[in-house]
Chains A and B, each alone.
Chain A
């Protein structure tokens, strides 16, 4: 089955700097890669996703890149703000809709 590894497990950045979280997956059948943000006391919320026919997608300060050959995908947050502090999860899924999640990255943005 699919195995998703996520790094780093914790990431501390200065406000205004960029944050990058990286994930790798094992199943070449995976074709859908969402990213979720989980704030304290809430469930994970979808913030951006990318499908395997696209190499990069951007939405304001967040972007995701996908390298299908290397089975890598990354989340980039630019101009970080304190409200970006949360746990971020990557996931990989196939056409059957089943998602496998990474272990999460705790992002702390310090003013």
Chain B
């Protein structure tokens, strides 16, 4: 365990479904991130939250909707996804975005859109 917990580990959903991914950290970090990892591609930054405020939305389609109720929890709400959205979704945290330090990643949610 890295200290960043993601649930569920695996998710299969239809294109009309609505589901949510959850990320939780108790490392005392103030920044949290969502990344998309597709095969043979660099990690794609999706969203950044610092002290619960969204500081970056990397041109992510509106069918992905993040929520950060507090510094320890981060959600990614999914609706009307496309098959190309199938990927490993990774959550990460860091001390805060101004520190320039390393990230701690969760194990990811393997999402399959059918």
Query: Contact residues of A with B, CB < 8 Å?
Result: 4, 9, 31-32, 34, 36, 41-46, 49, 89, 93-104
Contacts and interface: CB of A to CB of B under 8 A. Distances in A.
27 contacts: A4-B42, A34-B102, A41-B107, A42-B108, A43-B2, A43-B6, A43-B90, A43-B92, A43-B106, A46-B102, A49-B102, A89-B43, A93-B100, A96-B97, A96-B100, A97-B31, A97-B94, A97-B96, A97-B99, A97-B100, A98-B48, A98-B56, A99-B103, A100-B42, A101-B43, A102-B42, A103-B41
Interface of B: 2, 4, 6, 31, 40-43, 45, 48, 56, 90, 92, 94, 96-108
B56 to A, nearest CB: 8
A95 B4 CA distance: 23
Contacts of B106: 43
Contact of B2 (A45, A49, A99, A100): A45
Q: Which 5 A-B pairs have the closest CB atoms?
A: A43-B105, A97-B97, A101-B43, A46-B102, A103-B42
Contacts of A99: 103
A70 to B, nearest CB: 21
Nearest to A31: B100
Nearest to B99: A97
A46 B104 contact: yes
